[in-house]
Amino acid sequence: MSNQVDLNADVGESYGAFRIGADDEILSYVTSANIACGWHAGDPLVMGRTVELASRAGAGIGAHPGFPDLLGFGRRNLQISRDEAKAYVLYQIGALEAFVRRTGQSLQHVKLHGAMYNLVSKDAVLASAVIEGILEYDPDLILVAFSGSRFAQLAHEAGLPVAHEVFADRAYAPDGTLVSRTSEGALIKDAETAAARALRMITDGLVQASDGQDIQVRPDTICIHGDTPGAVSFARAVREALENAGVRIRPLREFIG
Amino acid sequence: MSNQVDLNADVGESYGAFRIGADDEILSYVTSANIACGWHAGDPLVMGRTVELASRAGAGIGAHPGFPDLLGFGRRNLQISRDEAKAYVLYQIGALEAFVRRTGQSLQHVKLHGAMYNLVSKDAVLASAVIEGILEYDPDLILVAFSGSRFAQLAHEAGLPVAHEVFADRAYAPDGTLVSRTSEGALIKDAETAAARALRMITDGLVQASDGQDIQVRPDTICIHGDTPGAVSFARAVREALENAGVRIRPLREFIG
Amino acid sequence: MSNQVDLNADVGESYGAFRIGADDEILSYVTSANIACGWHAGDPLVMGRTVELASRAGAGIGAHPGFPDLLGFGRRNLQISRDEAKAYVLYQIGALEAFVRRTGQSLQHVKLHGAMYNLVSKDAVLASAVIEGILEYDPDLILVAFSGSRFAQLAHEAGLPVAHEVFADRAYAPDGTLVSRTSEGALIKDAETAAARALRMITDGLVQASDGQDIQVRPDTICIHGDTPGAVSFARAVREALENAGVRIRPLREFIG
Amino acid sequence: MSNQVDLNADVGESYGAFRIGADDEILSYVTSANIACGWHAGDPLVMGRTVELASRAGAGIGAHPGFPDLLGFGRRNLQISRDEAKAYVLYQIGALEAFVRRTGQSLQHVKLHGAMYNLVSKDAVLASAVIEGILEYDPDLILVAFSGSRFAQLAHEAGLPVAHEVFADRAYAPDGTLVSRTSEGALIKDAETAAARALRMITDGLVQASDGQDIQVRPDTICIHGDTPGAVSFARAVREALENAGVRIRPLREFIG
């Protein structure tokens, strides 16, 4: 099916004296960086540093907007309106871009964070609001959206470049959604297993769901978690396995849009 | 000396359910709008609405960055570093510009808010940090700075277009700074007196200080307060007095830079 | 059924320079004050002032905890855990009590705010967490809960004094819940109609639902909205109508618990 | 001079997903715990857990109020008024006490954090405001204040129990204040040297200042830093050295007030 893929990771999640993640190490394995924009994580100093770090590492730079919930790290659902969804995303994209400009680069992509990612994936009203905001801001920005989601479909129909995202270290339900983190077997902790799943998604466009059936996915980009113990060695293992199998690891901007 | 001037006012200071100011009325009298960026006041919905309001009113649109102190409305000094000053201003300018872009306009100016305005006016280290940030973002942005301040001078030397700001409703100390709000006579509450002072600043470049001596000012733009009782009628009175005296009231972009 | 009732209102909702409500006027008509605790509204200075104001007005003083969502004024659902619900309520009660102590009074009641009120009313897990927190803090605190709600029932079973709350200016659905604010006819804007409904609830324990059928309610306290236009005259009209009908308006502490 | 001392450390500084410190280890070496109250660090869940942890470890429990500046970790000066100082401290003490009550213990002490500690140490107006607040809240609370400071003196005169605090790992200036962290030699990184200094302060009431002269100090409690690399082994070394020299390490409540 394909022999190329992007690897993306959330970075820039520190906040003031609060440190999270091993950004510089993770950035040597991924090709796209989702940078927190100061709402669920990140602050202006961290954003500036992370943009430079990602830029030097050659990673595509992405805005990673989330809910205004630093206390919950953007992982708790918040009931926002259509107008709020659009304005919150615009605000955060603009804030990040202020730090991108001086690197001589431009923003590559937008990926929503945590509970906002999940909520907008399946809510057509919020999805269209976010799409509208991104189109107004810059219609060339690539939207990273869950493979097969309503959000991905609506963005494609609206003319936005879309990168379909898959998860190598998460179990899929038969309906194509992710098995909840709290369910047994939801997390695939073995890097080799994860790499094998990633490889099959890339070469065949298929992943085995929790009921044993295969489901179709479109793996433009694979999410690499950066804030778990062992995240760095996991990232390295997945990357090496893919490269050994002949997959080219490239930033989204080189093959999407 | 001159027969033109800009009138600027702070707008977009509401926050969620908390409402401040009579923005639509004030915007019919001023030519430049300083729009809060969500830190000391304002939120993404308010920013979007205020940008549209200002745009429809024909006002030049400005970013109005302040300290991260919503509780203190950005009016309390906060001891920030050089890097923080630069990053905080960049963040807020970028966030606001996200809402300007869709109007087809571009950002006209930057004016710091409250305690940040006062602190940076006289601190050369912070001033140069803010100037550096604005230059990296967009060297055509006009900086609104206190007339005669070190900040204004440094920005001019660095090549940034500078609009010198004067206050028609505030008493000046002999050294050219403003008399503290808490001192008697600091505020000029009579609109006619304020208008007469404004007119003299524009025509002669002079204002009478609290000791009776004249001091020199450069009135590119006059600050009009929007959140005090009677603010709207004050704004109207000042504007009418200036127009009756033949002064042209124009946005900064038409005569600065 | 009864000839006494408490009237409660949300007060202390200002935040820094942001002013909301006519607290001193409202406090002359109600007998219990729900004071915001700095999360969805209110700040320490406002809390201190409002506690004194309520104390001088003779109103029972209540903590009014809400979601950590100042931007949304605590009106948006936030998905919190059992432990968070308990800890968030404890934190806010303690913070408010610090200002009550010096008045020589003690805290009378707790009433949750906005989206937290609605969520906990019907979610038994969160309800029991909040009840557990209040019991640990002070088992004599009166809980104000929606009349007929699961929350009220669970609190009663757990031994907490409960004041059942009714709404005179809101339409009731046939199942005893409030008709959503966004539905037509949800708000009863005429003070006389509201007063008549309040009176019938007090004397007969009945209110006519939106389908014309009567439903049973237990009106220990009536919610008086303080932040709407005309709130003060509405409060006065309801109070006068009740007093003219011989109902005694008394703080909760005098007849509950 | 004395053969007993308290060791205190800042704990409970995590915030949501942001983790700071090795609280359980540090709590096995100190006798008093300064628990962050959710403003500069800490959140309600963390506060509840830390109170339990400290309680089980037998440490005296203290409120550790700071500036409303999570982004700056309470380490940046913020220009607050007298009324704000008092209200901010009351709010945070009350919030923490809500979690103490259920342990069956009571709050032992109050120690201000970071920039607020430094500012109030030397500003008599703010100092008296904070003292007033603590006296209104609970006149038996022990105030931990910098040894020899104006704050300590004013609190003592106002009748508040005061624990004078010294620093074993910081250089002292000849005037008895701490040498700024940014100066060379400000931090004493060798645990044995620090322990020897601590011991001399306890036995002789003296510490050698940066100019070689001895100055007098009153070491009721020694600050142990918990968030630096090697903090735990440093704490253990200081404690062991003191115990080996026959000093009794005891919570403040056992010998102050």
Q: What is the 3-state secondary structure (H, E, C) of chain B?
A: CCCEEEEEEEECCCECCECCCCHHHHCCCCCEEEEECCCCCCCHHHHHHHHHHHHHCCCEEEEECCCCCCCCCCCCCECCCHHHHHHHHHHHHHHHHHHHHHHCCCCCEEECCHHHHHHHHHCHHHHHHHHHHHHHHCCCCEEEEECCCHHHHHHHHCCCCEEEEEECCECECCCCCECCCCCCCCECCCHHHHHHHHHHHHHHCEEECCCCCEEECCCCEEEECCCCCCHHHHHHHHHHHHHHCCCEECCHHHCCC
pLDDT at B231: 85
Instruction: Search chain B and give the residue with CA nearest A139.
Output: B102
Report how far residue A79's alpha carbon sits from residue A213's, in angstroms, rounded to the nearest whole number.
Answer: 34
- Between residues B196 and D227, the one the model is more confident about: B196
Subunits close to B (at least 3 CB pairs below 8 A): A, C, D
pLDDT at D181: 84
Give the count of Cβ contacts less than 8 A between chain A and C: 27
Average pLDDT, chain D: 95
The model's pTM is: 0.97
Instruction: Search chain A and give the residue with CA nearest C75.
Output: A79
Check whether A1 has a pLDDT greater than 60: no
pLDDT at A240: 95
Is the complex ipTM more than 0.85? yes
Q: Do B95 and A99 touch (CB under 8 A)?
A: no
**Residues of C within an 8 Å Cβ radius of B:** 15-20, 41, 43, 70-73, 75
Q: Please state, for a pLDDT cut of 70, what percent of chain C lies above it.
A: 100
pLDDT at A57: 97
**Residues of D within an 8 Å Cβ radius of C:** 38, 43-45, 47-48, 83-84, 87-88, 90-99, 101-102, 136-137
pLDDT by residue (tens digit) across B177-198? 999 888 998 999 888 999 999 9
The CATH architecture annotation of domain D4-254 reads: Alpha-Beta Barrel (3.20)
Q: Do C71 and B20 touch (CB under 8 A)?
A: no
Place of tokens 């912070």: B126
Least CB-CB distance to C16: which of B17, B43, B73?
B73
pLDDT at A225: 85
Q: Do C17 and B43 touch (CB under 8 A)?
A: no
Q: Do A87 and B47 touch (CB under 8 A)?
A: yes
For residues B238 and B232, is the Cβ–Cβ distance under 8 A? no
Q: Do D43 and A72 touch (CB under 8 A)?
A: no
pLDDT at A181: 84
The distance of C167 to chain D (nearest Cα, Å) reads: 31
pLDDT at C179: 92
Check whether A226 has a pLDDT greater than 80: no
Residue D179 banded pLDDT, cuts 50, 70, 90 = very high
Q: Among A87-96, A183-192, C67-76, D41-50, which is the least confidently predicted range?
A: A183-192
Report how far residue B115's alpha carbon sits from residue B93's, in angstroms, rounded to the nearest whole number.
Answer: 17
User: Region B145-166: what's the mean pLDDT?
Assistant: 98
Q: Do C78 and A80 touch (CB under 8 A)?
A: no
Residue C41 banded pLDDT, cuts 50, 70, 90 = very high
Tell me the Cα Rg of chain A. Answer: 17
Average pLDDT, chain C: 95
Give the count of Cβ contacts less than 8 A between chain B and C: 32
Report how far residue A48's alpha carbon sits from residue A100's, in angstroms, rounded to the nearest whole number.
Answer: 8
pLDDT at D182: 85
Residue B172: both structure tokens together:
């000046």
Q: Do A98 and B102 touch (CB under 8 A)?
A: no
Residue C1 banded pLDDT, cuts 50, 70, 90 = low
Instruction: Search chain C and give the residue with CA nearest A88.
Output: C71
The distance of D115 to chain B (nearest Cα, Å) reads: 10
Q: Do B71 and D71 touch (CB under 8 A)?
A: no
Q: Do D68 and B68 touch (CB under 8 A)?
A: no
The distance of A24 to chain B (nearest Cα, Å) reads: 20
Check whether D1 has a pLDDT greater than 70: no
User: Region B86-104: what's the mean pLDDT?
Assistant: 96
Instruction: Search chain D and give the residue with CA nearest B88.
Output: D71
Least CB-CB distance to B48: which of A44, A87, A99?
A87
Q: Which residues from chain B sit within 8 angstroms of residue D68, using beta carbons?
A: 69, 71
Least CB-CB distance to B45: which of A83, A96, A101?
A83
Residue D240: both structure tokens together:
């062991």
Give the count of Cβ contacts less than 8 A between chain A and B: 71
pLDDT by residue (tens digit) across A115-167? 999 999 999 999 999 999 999 999 999 999 999 999 999 999 999 999 999 99
Q: Which residues pair with D243 in a beta bridge?
A: none
Distance of CA C155 to the CA centre of its chain: 15
pLDDT at B1: 55
Q: Residue C12: name the closest of C60, C69, C64 by CA.
A: C64
User: Region A206-234: what's the mean pLDDT?
Assistant: 91
pLDDT by residue (tens digit) across C124-168? 999 999 999 999 999 999 999 999 999 999 999 999 999 999 999
Check whether A31 has a pLDDT greater than 90: yes
Q: Do C99 and D96 touch (CB under 8 A)?
A: no
Q: Which residues from chain A sit within 8 angstroms of residue C77, using beta carbons?
A: 77-79
Q: Which residues from chain C sit within 8 angstroms of residue B19, using beta carbons?
A: 18
Residue D198 banded pLDDT, cuts 50, 70, 90 = very high
Q: Among A226-230, C58-62, D98-102, which is the least confidently predicted range?
A: A226-230
Interface test with A, best of D20, D47, D67, D71 (most A CBs within 10 A): D71
Strands B221-224 and B4-11: parallel
Residue B252: both structure tokens together:
């900064």
Instruction: Search chain B and give the residue with CA nearest C39.
Output: B71
User: Region D24-45: what's the mean pLDDT?
Assistant: 97
Interface test with A, best of C76, C84, C91 (most A CBs within 10 A): C76
Instruction: Search chain C and give the residue with CA nearest B45.
Output: C71
Q: Do D17 and A43 touch (CB under 8 A)?
A: no
pLDDT by residue (tens digit) across A178-219? 998 889 989 998 889 999 999 999 999 999 999 999 999 999
Least CB-CB distance to C43: which of B16, B20, B71?
B71
pLDDT by residue (tens digit) across B4-60? 999 999 999 999 999 998 999 999 999 999 999 999 999 999 999 999 999 999 999
Residue B226 banded pLDDT, cuts 50, 70, 90 = confident
Interface test with A, best of C40, C75, C79 (most A CBs within 10 A): C79
Interface test with D, best of A20, A43, A45, A71 (most D CBs within 10 A): A71
Q: Please state, for a pLDDT cut of 90, what percent of chain C lies above it.
A: 88
**Residues of C within an 8 Å Cβ radius of A:** 68-69, 71-72, 76-80, 115
Average pLDDT, chain B: 95
Residue A2 banded pLDDT, cuts 50, 70, 90 = confident
Q: Which residues of A167-183 are buried (b: 16+ CB within 10 A; e: fewer)?
A: bbbbbbeeeeebbeeee
pLDDT at D221: 98
